[in-house]
Amino acid sequence: MERRQLEYFVAVARLGSLAVAARELRVTQPALSQGIRQLESHLGCELFHRVPRGMQLTAAGRALVEPAGHVLANLAVARAVIADVVGLKNGTIDVATLPGLVMEPLADWIRVFRATAPGVRVNLRQFDTSDEVIAAVRLGEAELGLTISVPPPSVSLVCRRVAAQELVAVLPAGTSVGEDVSVEEIVGFGMVVGGEQLVAEILGFGAAAASGGQLAVSDLVAHTEEATGRRIVAVDVERRESALALILAGVGAGILPRAFGEVAAARGAAVRPLRPPIVRDVHLVWRDAPLTPTCRAFLKVIDVL
C-alpha cells in the first residue's frame, strides 16, 4: 500500500468523482483510477461502487475513510518532526476555513505567525460549509480548521472557541435606513447572499425558532418568503466577495461579517448593526493526535496552546 494510493482514495471519497478528484490532485484520470484499483487489489475488496453519477463508497470504503486520513496525517507529522530535528525551517501548514473567516480573524493570525516563522508556507483551503471544513480536518487533508460549528461528539477532534464574529447589514450607498436594521427590512431590498450557509445563518435565527426545529435552507427561504409575501433572495453567489461587489453596485442588500462591512463602508455603502444582533462563535478544530511542529507553533502564536 502506497501513500499516493491513500491520497487518491481520500480525495475520491470526499469528492465522489474521479474527474473532480483528478483535477484537484493534478493527475490524469486514468492514473487516478489505476491507483484506486491497485489499492482495492492490495486490500482484496472494492472500495467504491462505480455508478453513472460518480463514485459511491462501499461498506469497506466507508470503514477505510477515517483510518486512511489518520495515516496520511501521521505521515505528515513524521516528516515535519524529522525536518525540525535537522533544522529545516521551510515547512508548511494546511488550514481549512470558511471564506467568511479569512478576512477576520484568520488574516491577522497568519500575519503574526509569518512574522515569527517567515520560512513556513501557509496553505489555505476554503470550503462552503462547516461540515466540509470539519471533514477535511478529520480526514487529514488539513491540520487546522476554522468553522462556526462544533464537531459532533463522536468525531475525534479537539475544538476551541477562538473568536466571535458579528454580522452587519450592508446596503447600497444612499440607502435611507435607521441606526440599526432588522432582517425583515433587508429582505425588502432584495438580498444578495454568498452561498447557502449564510442564508441559513441569517434566516435560521428567526425561521428555525418559529418552526420549532432545524430547517433545510430551502425550507428557511420558503418560510420567510411566505411570511413576508415577497421573494427574498435577489442574487445568490458562491463567494462572499462577489456578494459585496454586487451590493456596492446597488443590486440589493446583504448581511455580511463586520470586516466585510468595514470594507464596504470605506467604498460608500451604508453599513448598520442588525436588530437584534447576530453574533456567531468561531471555533478552531484539529485532530486529537500528535501535531506537526509548525502546527503547534501556529497554535501558540494565536494563544490556543
Domain residues for the domain of 6 are 1-64
CATH number of the domain at 7, please: 1.10.10.10
Are 288 and 157 in contact by the 8 Å Cβ rule? The answer is: yes
If one counts every other C-beta atom within 10 angstroms of the C-beta of residue 70, the result is: 16
> Averaged over 168-191, what is the pLDDT?
86
Q: Is residue 158 part of a domain?
A: no
Give the burial string for 74-113 (b: 16+ CB within 10 Å, else e): eebbeebeebbeeeeeebebbbbbbbbbbbbbbeebbeeb
Q: How far is CA 102 from the centre of its chain?
A: 10
Q: Among residues 24, 48, 64, which one ends one of the domains?
A: 64
Cis ω before 172 (30° cut-off from 0) = no
More confident residue, 75 or 168: 168
Overall pTM > 0.85: no
CATH number of the domain at 247, please: 3.40.190.290
pLDDT in tens, 81-108: 655 544 436 678 899 998 889 988 999 9
Q: Among residues 37, 64, 91, which one ends one of the domains?
A: 64
Q: Is residue 295 part of a domain?
A: no
Q: Which of 31-45, 187-201, 257-271 has the lowest mean pLDDT?
A: 187-201
Q: Domain count of the chain?
A: 2
Q: Extract the C-alpha cell encoding 27.
A: 493527475
State the first-to-last Cα distance of the chain, in angstroms, to the nearest integer: 35
Q: Is residue 87 part of a domain?
A: no
Q: How far is CA 76 from the centre of its chain?
A: 21
Q: Is residue 23 part of a domain?
A: yes
Q: Is residue 157 part of a domain?
A: no
Interior CA angle at 247 toward 241 and 248, to 5°? 90
Q: Among residues 64, 81, 110, which one ends one of the domains?
A: 64
